[in-house]
Amino acid sequence: MKKIGIAVTDPDDWTGVSLCNSVEYYGMTAVKFSFNEATSDISSGKIYSGNIDLTALDAVIVRDLGPATHNDVSFRFDILCQLKELGVAVINSPESIAKAANKYVSSFLFRKNGIPTPKTIVTNNLDEAIAALSSFGRAVVKPVFGYKGIGVECVRDSESGVVKLKELFKDNRLIYMQEFIPNPGRDIRVFVVNGKVAGSIYRIAPEGGWINNLSQGGSAKPCVLTGEQERLALKAAAVIGTVYAGVDIIEGDYVIEINGTPSGKGIFEACGVDVTRMIAEYLERLI
């Protein structure tokens, strides 16, 4: 029986549990492991987590890489790359996870491939950031490697806005800033699996808020995509190279970002669609 590793930090995570169930549904064995316990023994060549030999797996599905420091993030990616080299099927591929996790790289690739995305500037120069803020009027500043809406800040072209921008700059001397796209208090999360739309939801910001992430208190409602939104989501996933992805769209239509380790819970709760079934089906055919 094919043995599939599910990389997940929280053993009770809905997506991790459902990936295990779906993998078993397709007649494969699922084993959960966490990158928090990953070890690579250079002398023996063994790469393992707890008592699981990762090099003996047929495939790894990455639900999440776990919380990691700067050093550690590259170690975790390096392990994925080495497993791939050793013949373990890794989905999403380490390259696509890296591109999706990096908002600078994904914004660059969207623009290069004609995918509409908000005007964005990424700079080490505070004066450039201040000049861009005055042209945007209202802007959104994000961590380049952020997720779940954490650290996403709204900044306005005002005295206090410039003060805030300077503070954000002090933290890591890099500013990723984009124009704020006016929207009806919601955005769209499209779940793409293997070149098809598996499901989509509106994410509605909580009262008085403007960040739509479900983990920031947003609520989910079923959404029927326009043909254009569907085309953009599929193109974004193709350009980044993800087998499965969550693509964030603001109506109008702009692709905001792509998530290479998305949760399937919101779409399941709002639409009854279990995206992990489609991921496991894809994997079963692949290996």
Residues that bind ligand ADP (CB under 6 A): 118, 140, 142, 146-150, 152, 178, 180-181, 183, 187, 211-213, 248, 250, 256-257
In the complex with ligand ADP, which residue's Cβ is closer, 28 or 232?
232
Task: Give the shortest CB-239-to-ligand ADP separation in angstroms.
Answer: 16
Return the residue nearest ligand ADP (CB atom): 212
DSSP for 78-115, written as a single string: HHHHHHHHTT-EEES-HHHHHHHH-HHHHHHHHHHTT-
**Among ligand ADP, Mg ion, none, what binds residue 246 when CB lies within 5 to 8 Å by partner kind?**
none
- H helices present in the chain, as ranges: 14-25, 70-85, 94-101, 103-112, 126-136, 159-172, 227-240, 265-271, 275-286
Residues 232/252, Cβ–Cβ less than 8 Å: no
- Give the range of 101-109, 164-172, 245-253, 270-278 binding Mg ion by CB under 5 A: 245-253
Which residue has 């590793």 as its token pair?
5
- State how far the Cα of 8 lies from the Cα of 15, in Å rounded to an integer: 9
Closer Cβ to ligand ADP, 22 or 92, answer by number: 92
Residue 152 binding: pick among Mg ion, ligand ADP, none (C-beta 5-8 Å cut-off by kind): ligand ADP
Q: Is residue 248 involved in binding Mg ion (CB under 5 A)?
A: yes
Nearer Cβ to ligand ADP, position 5 or 266?
266
CB contact at 8 A, 108 and 114: no
Q: Which is nearer to ligand ADP, 87 or 208 (CB)?
A: 208
End-to-end CA distance of the chain: 11
Minimum distance of ligand ADP from residue 131's CB (angstroms): 18
* Shorter beta-carbon distance to ligand ADP: residue 33 or 77: 77
Distance (Å) of CA 243 to CA 142, 166, 235: 25, 38, 12
Minimum CB–partner distance for residue 162 and Mg ion (Å): 26
Q: Which residues bind Mg ion (CB under 5 A)?
A: 248
